[in-house]
Amino acid sequence: MRPVIGIGCDVEPSPHGEGRELMYVYGTYLEAIEMAGAIPLLLPPIEEVLERTLPLLDGVILAGGDDLDPASYGEANAACRELLDGRRQRHDLALARLTREQRIPTLGICLGAQLINVAAAGSLVQDIGSTLPESIQHTGRTGTRGRHRVSIEQRSRLAAVLGAIEVDVNSGHHQAVKDPGRGLSIVARSGDGVVEAIEDASHPFYVGVQWHPEEMLAEESAQRLFHAFVEAARTCGRLRRKS
């Protein structure tokens, strides 16, 4: 049986009439889930839906998006740009906490890595460029991703999954993890020291990466990451159904 992977929806006003809105995910996430042998299930940011669908899920992807409200990690807004829809923020933070508590495999991507951290009482760098002026360029030109290399902790789960301690990744973010949350470890950084990945080593699979592997599916590192995540979801799903 193919595992079911839930993925939270983004929210924005619809161009097709006042009072309407769109709840969606980018197709690249769905392609990545399917490529790795799983079935995607979209999770709209509605509390009642989350309560009913969580028992159906074998794994969860926390997708990219706009900036978290800094109040969620105890700071004033000093350098955020567009803030994430409040419903999605509440939904995805709750989802990150629940999947950790219930040991459901979880992969956080870009904003998703930051959600994992804030859900565990960690904090964020609100703007890399102004806070760390000597940093490399982490945002690409308009509509594109940059590229740079990240170094991965040798004994981390992420290094084992990728089969490497250095990988080239795409980059399109202006925020990053600052202080890791409870029980989380920093397991990858770019050359300027900016955090690029975190994980909970005690969890079956609880990993956040700052890049967008769903846009790198032709590359071995992305394929390995999604296949390892889906395999963890398959295994954990079987165990949950037996219990």
Q: Give CA–CA dist 82/195, Å, rounded.
A: 21
pLDDT of residue 113: 98
- Lowest-confidence region among 12-26, 66-80, 169-183: 12-26
Residue 148 annotated to the active site: no
Q: 108: closest CA among 203, 24, 210, 39? A: 210
Neighbours of 227 (CB within 10 A): 15
Integer CA distances (angstroms), 227 to 30, 32, 154, in order: 14, 9, 20
Residue 219 annotated to the active site: no
4-242: CATH topology is Rossmann fold (3.40.50)
Integer CA distances (angstroms), 88 to 1, 41, 137, in order: 30, 16, 28
In the predicted model, what is the mean pLDDT of the chain?
93
The end-to-end CA distance of the chain, in Å, is 17
Domain boundaries, the chain: 4-242
What is the pTM assigned to this prediction? 0.94
Strands (E), the chain: 4-8, 10-13, 21-24, 39-43, 59-62, 106-109, 124-125, 146-152, 166-171, 176-177, 185-190, 195-199, 206-209
More confident residue, 25 or 46: 25
Whether 134 has a pLDDT exceeding 90, the answer reads: no
Beta bridge partners of 42: 7
At 66-115, the pLDDT tens digits run 999 999 999 999 888 889 999 999 999 999 999 999 999 999 999 999 99
The values of phi and psi at residue 19, to 5°, are 90, -10
Which residue in 91, 173, 203, 212 is the catalytic one?
212
pLDDT of residue 240: 81
Which residue in 196, 199, 214, 215 is the catalytic one?
214
At 27-67, the pLDDT tens digits run 999 999 999 999 999 999 988 888 889 999 999 999 999 99
Which residue in 91, 110, 215, 236 is the catalytic one?
110
Integer CA distances (angstroms), 139 to 70, 135, 164, 205, in order: 20, 11, 24, 28
Residue 214 annotated to the active site: yes
pLDDT (average), residues 122-149? 77
